[in-house]
Amino acid sequence: MELDARTVGMVALGALALIQTARLTWRSTARRWSLARMRARARRGERDAERLLARAGYRVTQRQARARATYRVDGDPREVEVVADLLVTRRGRTYVAEVKTGARAPDPTHRATRRQLLEYGHAFDADGVLLVDVEAGRVSRVVLPTRGAAAGPWLAVAAGFAGGVFAGWLLFGA
């Protein structure tokens, strides 16, 4: 049986379409499986983190805690919702706890983690932020920088000096 060029071209085009469809289906399925594995790992990590926090004396008060933050863009308010893994308490203080697994994510200098911690510190009315590294079994308190952090002690010294000069001027006068 002899096939003409047009038939061969149509068969090749059909085979190529079939291969492309299979490739795209596999890619989509693999992505869903990967996301499902990541979600399962995150859920296990959060359960393990709760046990780790309990051993460190913290009590979980809320899972998937939500807070609202308002940003102003050109004067217009833009409200966003922020979701943290856990809210916990210890010794009458409340903390936002961010649970991390993996190699890079538990590092507070990792860009995505650093941004999350800063956002939680801004959005939640809490006494502090905790970073829970599940795989290392470590709970770390993270002190977030403030805008005037660099000037902190020098500003206090300068204010004290100025106050002293002013008091001396009042007492021993002009």
Closest among 149, 158, 146, 139 to 121, alpha carbons compared: 146
Tens digits of residue pLDDT in 148-164: 555 556 556 666 666 66
pTM: 0.62
Tens digits of residue pLDDT in 81-133: 999 999 999 999 999 999 988 777 778 888 988 899 999 988 999 999 999 99
Q: Please report the sign of the dihedral spanned by the C-alpha atoms of residue 24, residue 29, residue 32, residue 38.
A: negative
Mean pLDDT, range 44-53, rounded to an integer: 86
CB 37 within 8 A of CB 53: no
Distances (CA, A) of 154 to 158, 159, 166: 6, 8, 18
75: phi > 0 → left, psi -120 to 50 → alpha, else beta; which?
Answer: left
Which residue ranges form the domains of the chain, and what is each CATH number? 41-161 (3.90.320.10)
